[in-house]
Structure 1
Amino acid sequence: MEIAVAETSLSSPELLILSGLLAVGLALVHLFSGKLRFLDATPRSLWLSISSGVSVAYVFVHILPELSAAQATIKQAVGEGLSFLEHHVYLVTLFGVAVFYGLERTAKVSRQRNQEAGNGDVTEAGIFWLHIASFAVYNALIGYLLLHREEPGVQSLFLFFFAMALHFIVNDKGLRDNHKSYYDRVGRWILAAAIIVGWAIGRGSEIHEAAIAVLFAFLAGGIVLNVLKEELPEDRESRFWGFALGAAIYASLLVAV
C-alpha cells in the first residue's frame, strides 16, 4: 500500500471544514490542558501514561508500516543520487528523535544552571524561545498533516486527531514543567496558533507524496522521543500498566480498522 496525498481533503468542502474544526480542537488542547490539575499528581497520572501509550501505538502500528511501503516512492522522487533513502527513510525518524532529544537536554541543562544561580527551577529565556520555536514548527507540521496525511479519508483523520490530541496533553505537561509560568503566559498561545498556521499552509499548498512520507517520518521520531522522555525518568513514577493499556487498546483499534 503506497502513501497517498490526501487529495480528497482539498476537493471535498465537508472534509476541509472538518479538518479545520479539528485543527481548532487541537489548538484548544494546548490552551486548556493546563486546567486538568489531576495530571500534576505524583505518581504520574494514569491518564498521561495512557495518552503516551496511544501516541506510541499510532507511530508503530500506523505511521511506520506506511513509511516502509513508501520507500520505493521516495527513491523515484529523489533520484539515484539519494537512492539510499529507498532503504533508509527511517534515518529521518532517527533525526526526529535526535532533534527532540537535543532540545530536552538543553532544557535540563538550562534549568540546572538557573538553579545553581539561584534563579529557580526554570529554563533561561533563550532556551524557552528555542523550545517554543521548535515545537511551533512541530505543531505546524501536525496542522499541515491534518490535510495531507499518508492515508486520506474521515476515518484516518479522526485516528490522527485523537492520537495527536493526547500527545499534545503529554507535551504540554513536559513544557510546563520546564518553563513554568512562561509557558502558560506565552508558549501555549504560540503553539496553539502554530497548528492553525500549519493547517492554513496545507489549505493553500500540496506537496509530493514522497515529501509527505518524509514529514511523517520526522513526526514519528518526535512523538517517540517526546513520549519516552516523559515516561522513563524515575522521578516521574510513571504507570507502566497505563502506558501498556493505552498502547494495546489503540493498537487493537488501528489493526481492526
Structure 2
Amino acid sequence: MAAAFVAVHVLIGRLTFLDRTPRSAWLSFSGGVAVAYVFLHILPELASHGEIFASALRLEDRLAEAWVYALALTGLALFYGVERAVTVSRSDQRAKGEGDRPESGVFWVHLVTTGSLVAIISYLLNHREDMSASGLAVFFVAMVLHFMTADYGARANHPELYERYGRWVLALASLGGWLLGTLVALPEFGIACLFAFLGGGIILVVMKEELPAERQSRFFPFLIGTVLYAMLVIGETYLVGG
C-alpha cells in the first residue's frame, strides 16, 4: 500500500486523462470519496479520541474533546496558511509578468508541509484505531484517491518543480512514514494526536480542491464517489459490529 502511494506521487503527471476542463470526473469522484471519509471516519474518530485525551491529560471529557478538535483545527489552519501563501505568491508572480506560478521558496514550504501530511498517513498504515483488514482497506482507498487529488493540485501549481523534485520528495515521505511505522510504535495518545492533526489537514485539502468555482468540479461524479464510499464504510462498520 505504501508502494501504491509512491506510484501515485511519481506517476501523477502521466495520468493525462486528469488534465481536462471542466474538471476530470475521476478527480471529482476522488474528492467525493475523501469528503465521505472525512464525515464517516475522521469526525467520528476525533470524537472517540476524547477519551484518550481525557485519560492522558487527566481532563474532564468535554475539555478533552475540545483539545482534540483544537488540534484538528491547528492542522486545518496550518495547511490553510500554506495554501494561502501559494495563492498570494501566484498572484504576485502574475503581476510581475513572470507567469502563473508561485515562487520556488513558497513551493518548497508547500512541499514540506504536504510531505509531513503524507508521512503521517503512511505511518498510520501500521498504527490505527481500527486495525482490521477491512478497516485498513477503507483507509487505503480513501488515502490513495486523496493523494491523486492533492498531487494533481500540487503539480498544477508548479509542474516543473513538481516533476523534478516534488514527486520524489513525496515518494520518500511515503516510504519514510511507512518505515517509521514498522520501527516505532507511538503510545495511544501519540496516535490520537497524529490522527487529529491529520484530520484537520485532510479536511482543508479536500475542500480546497473541490469547492472553488474555478475548479469547475463535476457534481454527479462527486456525488457518486461520496455515496459509494459511504456505502462501503457503513457496510464495513456493520460487518465489524456484527
CA RMSD between the two structures: 1.6
Structure 1 equivalent of residue 161 of structure 2: 182
Match status 1:134 vs 2:113: yes
Structure 2 equivalent of residue 242 of structure 1: 221
Structure 2 equivalent of residue 56 of structure 1: 35
- In the TM superposition, residue 116 of structure 1 has moved relative to its aligned partner by 1.4
- In the TM superposition, residue 82 of structure 1 has moved relative to its aligned partner by 10
Structure 2 equivalent of residue 7 of structure 1: none
- Matched residues in 1 for 2:158 and 2:194: separation? 27
Structure 2 equivalent of residue 232 of structure 1: 211
Structure 2 equivalent of residue 198 of structure 1: 177
Structure 2 equivalent of residue 164 of structure 1: 143
Structure 1 equivalent of residue 239 of structure 2: none
TM-score by length of 1: 0.87
> How many equivalent pairs are there?
236
The correspondence of residues 33-72 of structure 1 with structure 2, limited to 5 A, is 33-72=12-51
- In the TM superposition, residue 83 of structure 1 has moved relative to its aligned partner by 7.6
- In the TM superposition, residue 203 of structure 1 has moved relative to its aligned partner by 1.0
Q: Is the 8 A contact 2:54 2:60 kept in 1?
A: no
Q: Is the 8 A contact 1:64 1:217 kept in 2?
A: no
- In the TM superposition, residue 102 of structure 1 has moved relative to its aligned partner by 0.9
- Matched residues in 2 for 1:137 and 1:212: separation? 15
- Matched residues in 2 for 1:154 and 1:178: separation? 36
Structure 1 equivalent of residue 102 of structure 2: 123
- Matched residues in 2 for 1:87 and 1:177: separation? 36
Structure 1 unpaired stretches of 5+: 1-21
- Matched residues in 1 for 2:207 and 2:65: separation? 28
- Matched residues in 2 for 1:153 and 1:62: separation? 14
Equivalent AA in structure 1 for residue 161 of structure 2: Y
Match status 1:95 vs 2:41: no
- Matched residues in 2 for 1:32 and 1:82: separation? 45
- In the TM superposition, residue 210 of structure 1 has moved relative to its aligned partner by 2.1
Q: 1:74 aligns with which of 53, 58, 63?
A: 53
- In the TM superposition, residue 81 of structure 1 has moved relative to its aligned partner by 9.6
Equivalent AA in structure 2 for residue 117 of structure 1: K
- In the TM superposition, residue 71 of structure 1 has moved relative to its aligned partner by 0.8
- In the TM superposition, residue 23 of structure 1 has moved relative to its aligned partner by 0.6
Structure 2 equivalent of residue 8 of structure 1: none
Equivalent AA in structure 1 for residue 25 of structure 2: L
- In the TM superposition, residue 86 of structure 1 has moved relative to its aligned partner by 3.3
Question: Residue 207 and residue 164 in structure 1: after superposition, are their counterparts in 2 closer, same or farther (change >3 A)?
Answer: same
- Matched residues in 1 for 2:156 and 2:63: separation? 40
Question: Residue 159 and residue 82 in structure 1: after superposition, are their counterparts in 2 closer, same or farther (change >3 A)?
Answer: closer
Match status 1:222 vs 2:201: yes
Bigger mean CA deviation after superposition, 136-145 or 226-235? 226-235
Secondary structure in 1 matching 2:49: helix
Secondary structure in 2 matching 1:89: helix
Structure 2 equivalent of residue 12 of structure 1: none
Question: What percent of counterpart residues are identical?
Answer: 47
- Matched residues in 2 for 1:80 and 1:221: separation? 22
Cα deviations by residue, 1:195-248 (Å, 9 ceiling, x for unpaired): 110111111111121221221121111111111111111111111222121111
Match status 1:153 vs 2:111: no
Q: 2:11 aligns with which of 22, 26, 32?
A: 32
TM-score by length of 2: 0.93
- Matched residues in 1 for 2:54 and 2:203: separation? 25
Equivalent AA in structure 1 for residue 154 of structure 2: L
Bigger mean CA deviation after superposition, 161-170 or 69-78? 69-78
Q: Is the 8 A contact 2:52 2:192 kept in 1?
A: no
Structure 2 unpaired stretches of 5+: 237-242
